[in-house]
Amino acid sequence: MNLILLLVLVIAAGAVLSVQAAINGRLGQTVGVLRSSLLTFAVGALTTALLIFFFEPPQAVSLLDVPKWQLTGALFGVVYMMVMVGAVPVVGTAVATVAVILGQLGMGMLIDNFGWLGNPAIELSGSRIVAMALLALALVFMYRSNTRKTD
């Protein structure tokens, strides 16, 4: 796949996550964080099951055969969903999203730098550190602009 097309798809996926956070935040206020999360995962599981049934080619290894630590990634989605459903109504979609991206960037840089979880090592550079600092500064400015409007 073309690298530019892949990056466009990743950006689009990020945009969809912000829409999902805003919708689920409102749903969570109405029916509760856990019910909102349950609905999201139930619909996701059903959709994924249908996609697997109709489109996924056979794999040489099943979920039962992979190293068990690889299955723990699913738990992180639950944490993300419940935190976002609770946070978006309080801090807003943009601030919650930037905070998530800041956390993703920080952990991503650690994973890259040390080659954790079987990923290739990519050295931490000054430009990556500057990018992290600028994103943290953006989060501060966004949060402060939210609090000024509510005061």
Q: Residue 151 pLDDT more than 90?
A: no
Environment class of 124 (CB within 10 Å of its CB; exposed 0-12, middle 13-18, buried 19+): middle
Helix ranges (H only) for 32-68 are 33-55
Rounded to an integer, what distance in angstroms lies between the CA atom of residue 139 and that of residue 97? 9
pLDDT digits (tens, 9 = 90+) for 36-88: 999 999 999 999 999 999 999 999 999 899 999 988 888 898 899 999 999 99
Q: Residue 100 pLDDT more than 60?
A: yes
Average pLDDT along the chain? 92
Which residue's structure tokens are 């079987």? 118
What is the value of pTM for the model shown? 0.80
The answer to whether the CB of 91 falls within 8 A of the CB of 142 is no
What is the token pair recorded at 41?
């995962």
